[in-house]
Structure 1
């Protein structure tokens, strides 16, 4: 697993290894990550990455947020409640030398604490597939004011997802066994 674009292009991230069977770590493949960022950077939706405040829900290894930082995002909060994921995120932040821009929030993405600071303009949502956790996390983020009006949400699941109230569908793409649904938060 590596960063595929921007300042940290080519940087190898910490290996997931055998991990923790209960952690359900399933990092976004380099190919899917590259396709997602090409879609985001294609101009159809403005440029949601440059200067973005990124919220990475179910961050796992942190690869999505670190890719965004490499491509010009201003800062990122990576939400992960698994110990293995938290360890990998800390290591990957260190490897990418993004300690001043990235912060780990050890929390359940479906039960977000009160938001501190400004709302986020770009969110990644990559829950364990098929468990309804993405809907719960997005509902919590919307209800808690974590997402700014106009924020773009990139949601990975096993199949295309329907927008929740408060978000509109921008695009849907399928890459092998991964469906990416792009949403825009209403405002």
Structure 2
């Protein structure tokens, strides 16, 4: 679940492009819920345009599921959403059903606990956007890397506070990065 600050973020957000373009997702009125803004998602998926078709995606700390749903809209082959908040999982499942998205699975689990299990298959693209106050970047990144969750050449998208420098695996190279307000977003490429 994406939580940054005590501000509420109730309302809606839209899917920027692809088969679900213009579709709206309700954003529940929860303290600190921080969905990735349209402008940042548009930039990210422009970066991912050459590799998104058919990609197997993992949306850790899914929250509203905006990143994974945007990936599916743009041609990803599958997305697994991990969210520990039961109410957000139900809302995400409802949104997927309303949008008639069949190539998605929602798992109600703690992300680090989920990553402790053996993967069924590795992912091409992972969205790593944990609650800012929980400092879960390093632990999640190590679990992804050491647990066999990432394919060779996988891409990992990460959001963190602008001034944070989470320790990440040495074989994750910055592919592209940017800033939006107090948030730094970066796309990493997993090197062999």
1:26 partnered with 2:26: no
1:150 is aligned to 153
1:27-42 paired onto structure 2 within 5 Å: 27-41=35-49
Equivalent residues of 2:141, 2:168 under 8 A apart:
no
SS in 1 for 2:33: coil
1:135 is aligned to 138
TM-score, reference length from structure 1: 0.86
Separation of aligned partners in 1, 2:55 and 2:160: 23
Structure 2: tracts of 5 or more residues without a match: 1-12
Greater mean alpha carbon deviation, residues 160-169 or residues 113-122: 160-169
Separation of aligned partners in 1, 2:100 and 2:141: 29
CA RMSD of aligned residues (A): 1.7
Cα 1:138–1:176, aligned 2, differ >3 Å: closer, same or farther? same
Aligned partner (choices 27, 32, 35) of residue 15 of structure 1? 27
SS in 1 for 2:186: strand
SS in 1 for 2:158: strand
How far 1:130 moved relative to its partner? Answer: 4.5
Equivalent residues of 2:119, 2:148 under 8 A apart:
no
1:165 partnered with 2:170: yes
Separation of aligned partners in 1, 2:26 and 2:97: 10
TM-score, reference length from structure 2: 0.84
2:9 is aligned to none
Equivalent residues of 1:48, 1:122 under 8 A apart:
no
